[in-house]
Amino acid sequence: MSRVLVSQSSPLFLRRAVLQKPFLSVKNLSFTSGKRAYSLDARSAINEYVYCPLIRRVTDAEQGHKLGVFLMKYGLSPRLFNDKDDKVLEVSVFDKKLANPIGMAAGFDKHGECIDALFDLGFSYVEIGSITPEPQPGNPEPRFFRLPKDEAVINRYGFNSVGHWDVLGRLKLRAEKYLRAEAVAASSLDQSLKDNHVTTNAFRNNKLLAINLGKNKNGDEIEDYVKGVERFGPFADVLVINVSSPNTPGLRNLQSSDKLTNLLKIVVNQRDLLNGNLLHSKPPILVKIAPDLTEIEIKSIAESAKEAKIDGIIMSNTTIQRDNLKLLTTDKNLINEQGGLSGAPLKEISLNAFKKLRKYTKDSDLVLIGCGGISNGKDAIEFAKAGATFVQLYTAFAYKGPGLAAKIKDEITSELKKENKTWMEIIGADDNEK
C-alpha cells in the first residue's frame, strides 16, 4: 500500500522514510494478525516510545512534521479506538457543546490535509492554518528545530501556505462528502441515522472546526483578513485572526491598540455580512495573541476585543523570549535560533500572561482559550482554573504521539472525579484567589 502512495515524485525524505526505513515497513508496523490492532490504536505505548522516537531519529524537525501529516492524510496513522468521553469533560461554548476540552492548535495541519485524522485521535476542536490569501513559501530552510531535552521546538516557518484557494478546494470536497451522507441520513427510515445529524463543520457531534487566518508577507493588514473571513466563513465553526506569529515582519505590530481595534471591528463586520456557514450559523471570531506582552499591552488588547465585540482570545502563540526560560538544552546556537519557541518551557510564560488577560476580561463575555506548553492533564486543569474554557496543544503532540489527547482526557477525568467536579465547574476557579 505504501508503494502506491509514495511515488518517485514524492519528497526524497518521504521515499526514504516510508520505503526504505525498516521501522516503517509494512512488516514492522505490524499490519498483521493481532498486532495490527495494537499498533493502530492511538493509545498504544509503542507509538510514544518506539515509533515517534524513531521518526525523530531519522528526520529533521520539518521532515518529521511533513511525514506526520502525510501519514495522517493517507490513513496510515493510528486512531483512537472506543473514543467516548466522560460527561465531566463536556464544554459549553459558542452556544454549542464540545465533548471534551482538548483542541489541536494551529500550525500542525497548516493546509487542512488531515482534519478527520485529528478528530479521530480524540480532539474535540481542530484548528487548521494559518492560511494566507496567496501561496507563499515562508522563510528559507532550515526553519524548524527540535530541543528534545526540553520537549520544545523553535520554528520560523513564516506563514508557509498553499493559499486560500487550495485549502478551500479541499474543504469543499470534504463538505460535499459529508453533506451527501447527511442527505442520505435525512431520507432514511433508520431513526439512528437521523439521530446522528450533525450541526457543526467538523461534521461530528460535539466537535468544532476552526480556521486560522494569516496575512501574506507583503499583504494588506486589513484586506488579507477580510478575504479570509469572506472565503472561509462558510466552512468554519470558528475563525481565528492570527496577529501574533513572530516570523512575519511587522505582524505583531497589529496587536497595538488602535490597529487591533480597527482590524477586529472590520473583521466582525465582515463576519456579520455572511449568510452563515454551511450549517446556517455565523462563526465566532477569536484573536490569537503573543505571550511576550506587558500587562499594559494585555489590558489594551482586552479592551480592543471588548470594543470590537469579538467572541474570544487565544493566549498564546510562541515566545521569542530565551533568557527567562528554564532550558535543559545547552547548545547556545540552537537556543538562539531565530523564531518562536513552543513546548513545555513556554507553559510558565503563557500561563502567567493568561492570568493577566483573565484579570481584564472576567467581567465580559469573552471566551478565553489556553494554549502554550500544555502537555498533560495537570497543565490543562491549571489553565481551566485560571479561566480557560478549553485548551489547545501542538508541540507536546509531536513528542508524545497520537495517544496524547486520550491520555490527557483520562488524566483530567480522574482528577475531576477526585474533586467531584465537572470541567465547566472549575473554569475560573482561581478568580477569587489573592
Answer positive or negative: Cα dihedral of 116, 117, 121, 125.
Answer: negative
Which residues, including other chains, have CB under 8 Å from residue 264's CB and lie 6 or more apart?
Answer: 241, 285, 287, 304, 305, 308, 310
Count of residues making up the chain: 434
Residue 281 bears catalytic tag:
no
Of 245, 300, 342, 350, the catalytic one is 245
Question: Cell triple for residue 261?
Answer: 481595534
Q: What is the DSSP string of 258-286?
A: HHHHHHHHHHHHHHHHS---TTS-PPPEE
The answer to whether the peptide bond before residue 130 is cis (omega within 30 degrees of 0) is: yes
Integer Cα distance of 368 and 96 in angstroms: 15
Comparing CA positions, the residue from 136, 172, 140 lying closest to residue 156 is 140
* Kind plus residue range of the DSSP H or E element containing 392: strand 390-393
Taking Cα atoms as reference points, which of 208, 205, 200, 174 lies closest to residue 104?
A: 208
Q: What is the DSSP string of 330-376?
A: --HHHHT-SSEEEEGGGHHHHHHHHHHHHHTTTTS--EEEEESS--S
Cell of 350: 503563557
Q: Report the interhelical angle of 223-232 vs 164-187 (nearest 10°).
A: 20
Helix (H) or strand (E) holding 119: helix 115-119
**Catalytic residue positions, numbered:** 245
